[in-house]
Amino acid sequence: MSLAGMPCRELHAKLRSGELSSREAVQAALEAIGQRDGTVQAFVDVWENEALLRAEEIDRRRAAGQPVGALAGLPVAVKDNLCTYGRRTSCASRMLENFRPPYDAHVIERLQAADAVIVGKTNLDEFAMGSSSEHSAFQVTRNPWNPEHSPGGSSGGSAAAVAAEMVPAAVGSDTGGSIRQPASFCGVVGLKPTYGRVSRYGLVAFASSLDQIGPLANDVYGCAMLLEVLAGHDPRDATCLNVPVPEYVRSVDEAPERLRVGVVEEFMGEGVDDEVRSAVDRVVGALRDLGAVVESVSLPHARYAVATYYIVAPSEASSNLARYDGIHYGYRAEAFENLEDLYARTRGEAFGSEVKRRIMLGTYALSAGYYDAYYLKALKVRRLIRQDYDRAFERVDVLVGPVAPTPAFRLGEMLEDPLTMYLADVFTIGANLAGLPGISVPAAMSSQGLPIGVQLIGPPLSEERLLRAARLWERHCPRTVLGRPALCQ
């Protein structure tokens, strides 16, 4: 195992004690990227020189007895839809291929203030629209466990970078499952926080009422560590909650008291792969054996979640992406006849097929004569979905179910059938529509040697309990049960 593949808890302890220097940790990450990313293609930009200089500066301060941040020296990758001052932020789109933001996203500021070392930016589905990391304008990211399979999406680059032991932790974004699904496919831990727990300032918008930034890591401790740094109020984001941030790291090893677990009936029915169902049963059985009370719960409107999401999210995308017109910034068509032609050519040339599909869906849903029939109705159903969760959490503390209906699918398998790919998000979308936190934890291996994750969902601002429940399972099923990805053998 490389230093970059060392569990976050162990690596963090070695950095804090001085047993390991920041430069050694960062150098190990950069070497792993050099060795493996030619196959995985998780990174769209590697900050080698900047990362080494940053690591050396942290080492100098530590040697001089000066204070260092909570993540001092930890190599971290960030998804390329987070603005980074003066460094390319492309959203894996030709539209922003040469865009260099004049400011940092809030979470980038937080990482830098905590002395994390950002080693590069990771690939994604264009503008975070996709579930396979195949919709990037630049490259296709591959699953480290089997390069013929998808790492999931849209944060597939971040998840694959952690799984391939190139970095111990990364940052992604989750609009309909884009942290949890790739975490499941790649055998890492991924947490989507409560909507508003982490500032969206500097996150390039897809669907503003659904987007949320969160951590991926090779253990639960790593997610707790990153979330404690990322979370907190930011007045630049009007939706960011002004509530205290718990000490997630301090409490992560404390077993939840009188944990009540709900198994979602609608998540365990037709269409769920037998191995996925078995993985959920395994986690539920272990939690029961560890003292949890388990019962079945129903989310009766869950069957409408996909339809609701694919009205709300494309509608917001249609509005958010209207700013890319070839005038203000980003790509501009070279040949055009008039202003209208400039708009049409610019957007036609620079947006990929999936982004165009969602813009058209959203524009149609918002158009005159259809707004009430589609968008307004979707908002009403969204409220019913949230009420289902509220009622469930009157009886239980966490909900347990699959992250995806199957383990990682083969690359190219669903490209010609977007509806099937949309349906693969059926178990993750509800938490986004309701604004709830959810975490994916590795639970089993499929017969094909691919990881299977299980999802825990909690009520608003219950990240502390979710992390403790996930850690309870992790202690029962240590990471070594999964083995190591083929590319790391």
Which residues have a catalytic role annotated? 79, 154, 178
List the structure tokens of 181: 């699904």
What is the end-to-end Cα distance of the chain in Å, rounded? 8
Three-state SS letters, the chain? CCHHHCCHHHHHHHHHHCCCCHHHHHHHHHHHHHHHHHHHCCEEEECHHHHHHHHHHHHHHHHCCCCCCCCCCCEEEEECCECECCECCCCCCHHHCCCCCCCCCHHHHHHHHCCCEEEEEECCCHHHCCCCCCCCCCCCCCECCECCECCCCCCHHHHHHHHCCCCCEEEEEECCCCCHHHHHHHCCEEEECCCCCCCCCCECCCCCCCCEEEEEECCHHHHHHHHHHHCCCCCCCCCCCCCCCCCHHHHCCCCCCCCEEEEEHHHCCCCCCHHHHHHHHHHHHHHHHCCCEEEEECCCCHHHHHHHHHHHHHHHHHHHHHHCCCCCCCCCCCCCCCHHHHHHHHHHHHCCHHHHHHHHHHHHHHCCCCHHHHHHHHHHHHHHHHHHHHHHCCCCCEEEEECCCCCCCECCCCCCCHHHHHHCCCCCHHHHHHCCCEEEEEEEECCCCCEEEEEEECCCCCHHHHHHHHHHHHHHCCHHHHCCCHHHC
Sign of the Cα torsion 156, 158, 162, 166 reads positive
Distance CA 452, CA 440 (A): 9
Amino acid (one-letter) located at 483: G
8 A C-beta contact, residue 182 and residue 160: yes
